[in-house]
Each structure stands twice: as C-alpha cells, then as structure tokens.
Amino acid sequence: MASNYKITKSDLTKLGLYSVIEQIGFSFERMQALGFTCSMLPTIKKIYGDDKEQLADFMTKNMEFINTEMHMATFLMGLIVSMEEAGEDRTLICNIKNGLFGPLAGLGDAIFWFTLLPISAAICTSLAQDGSPLGPLLYIAIWFVSAISRIWFARLGYSLGTKAVSTISENANAITRAAGILGVMVVGGLIPTYITFAFGEGLTYGINEATVQSIFDNVMPNILPLGFVFLIYYLFKKKNMSVLAVILGIIVFGIAMSYLGWM
C-alpha cells in the first residue's frame, strides 16, 4: 500500500540535517539502532500521519542492530524513506538495510575517516603551527561542509531508490580499492612528517665520532620512522597487542631513550 503523501525536496533536506543525531543513544548491544530510528521519525510521521500502528511497526522493526558510517547512514535513510513511500514490504526494507550497512561502512570509513580526516588535519595543523586561528577555523569549516553534505546523501539515497542496491554492490569493490590506494599512499606520505624517530647528536661511533643517525640517513632518510610504523603494525596485526599496551610501551621507550641520552 503506497502512501498518499509525496515526499518533497525540503523533506529530504530536513531528513539530511536531522540525521546528524544518528549515533545518539549508542550502545554495544544495538550500536546505532536508536539514533538511526530517531532520525527518521519526523519524515515517517509525514507519511503515516498519526497511524499509531504503522509507526509502532516501523520503530520496532528499525530497532535491530545497525552500525555504519554516518554519511552512509543518511544515504540508507533516504533509501528507506523512498521504499516506505512506495509501500514496499517493511521486512524486505529491513533486509536490504541489513545487507547494505556493512559494505557501506567500509566505503564511508575509507572516505571520511581515512582520507578526509588526515588530509584536513594535515592542512589545518600546518596552518596552526605558528598559532594562527586559521587552522582550527578551516578545520571547523571543512567538517561543517561534511556534515551539511548529508542533505545530498539523503537525496541520493531517495532518488536512487531500489536501483541503488545493485549499483552499490557492483561498484563497491572498485571504490573501496581506490579509497585503499588513496589512503595507504597518504599514510606513506604522512610518515616522514608526522613521526620523529631519530637518534641524537650525542650518540656517535667509531674514530671520527660520526653520529649513529648519519648511518641511517645514509642508508635511507626517514628509514627509522618507516620501520617504526611497520613495527607497530606488526604488533597490532600479528601479536594482537592492545592500543593501550603499545602506547605505554612507547612512553616507556621514550623515557628510557631520554635517560640514556640517545634521543
């Protein structure tokens, strides 16, 4: 049974903006289920008015476990709203949602967490280095735009409708692959700038009192930071060390180096 109400452009704008609360009420049990449902309520009430039965069914069905990246969540909301409006079976709708949120999380994380975040942080911290407020202000501006862009994601999800499902599964691989190349290359580029790992002037060897660091610089500049990142990676990946343990280890190491006068 398709609804009588026709979703307007302004409805989708509001949906996009309101979806910023998508992660409130987060719990390990259901993750984003609460915020996700809550975000759609104003729009859904336009479709079903005060039809308590429909609203109850909608809320209950949408309270299943969900966890995805924020912008992708908004995209999913647009999709759901278009299907609700078309009167599709709600169990089907939820199945589609369940099938999509995982891959979409990977995609969104690659774009926003792994690419936009380091790039914006790099630009803004470099602007901020001499204390200029331009740094944080640009940072705030960038992410404000990112938040506002959810309007577009809501519209995209709505207009693609069910077509979206096959399109996404077709191109998810390609986009994830591209995001991986981008992200990994950026990380490679961040290593020399972000990490200082060098022995001090005081640590020398041999007859000429050449510094130990000069050996490493001779072999390859920045080889120590590069190796250090791979060590950390190895500790996480193969040794399953916790983030906390690694951080504490680094602090202990730093203090030890300081006392030895090596760094």
Ligand X SMILES: OC[C@H]1O[C@H](O)[C@@H](O)[C@@H](O)[C@@H]1O
Residues 221-260 that bind ligand X (CB under 6 A): none
Residue 203 interface partner, choices ligand X, other proteins, a copy of itself, none, CB cut-off 5-8 Å depending on type: none
Residue 206 interface partner, choices other proteins, a copy of itself, ligand X, none, CB cut-off 5-8 Å depending on type: a copy of itself
Choices 50-58, 63-71, 179-187, 234-242 (CB under 6 A): range interacting with ligand X: 63-71
Residue 210 interface partner, choices a copy of itself, other proteins, ligand X, none, CB cut-off 5-8 Å depending on type: a copy of itself
Choices 6-14, 79-87, 159-167, 239-247 (CB under 8 A): range interacting with other proteins: 239-247
Residue 214 binds other proteins (CB under 8 A): no
26 CB contacts (<8 Å, ≥6 apart)?
32, 34, 35
List of residues contacting a copy of itself (CB under 8 A):
123, 126-127, 130, 132-134, 206, 208, 210, 215, 218-219
Residues 101, 77 contacting (CB under 8 angstroms) = no
In terms of Cα–Cα distance, which of 150, 51, 132, 37 is closest to 94? Answer: 37
Choices 5-13, 81-89, 160-168, 222-230 (CB under 8 A): range interacting with other proteins: 222-230
Residues 235, 246 contacting (CB under 8 angstroms) = yes
To 10 degrees, what angle do helices 212-219 and 223-237 make? 80
164 CB contacts (<8 Å, ≥6 apart)?
79, 157
Rounded to an integer, what distance in angstroms lies between the CA atom of residue 98 and that of residue 67?
10
How is residue 141 written in tokens? 């501006």
Residues 65-94 that bind other proteins (CB under 8 A): 67, 70
Residue 233 interface partner, choices a copy of itself, other proteins, ligand X, none, CB cut-off 5-8 Å depending on type: other proteins
How is residue 12 written in tokens? 């989708």
CB burial of residue 223 (10 Å; 0-12, 13-18, 19+):
middle
Size of the site for ligand X (CB under 6 A): 7
* Residue 204, strand partner residues: 211
Task: Output the smallest distance, CB 151 to other proteins, in A.
Answer: 13
Residue 117 binds other proteins (CB under 8 A): yes
How is residue 196 written in tokens? 């200082």
Residue 109 binds ligand X (CB under 6 A): yes
Footprint on this chain of ligand X (rule: CB under 6 A)? 31-32, 67-69, 105, 109
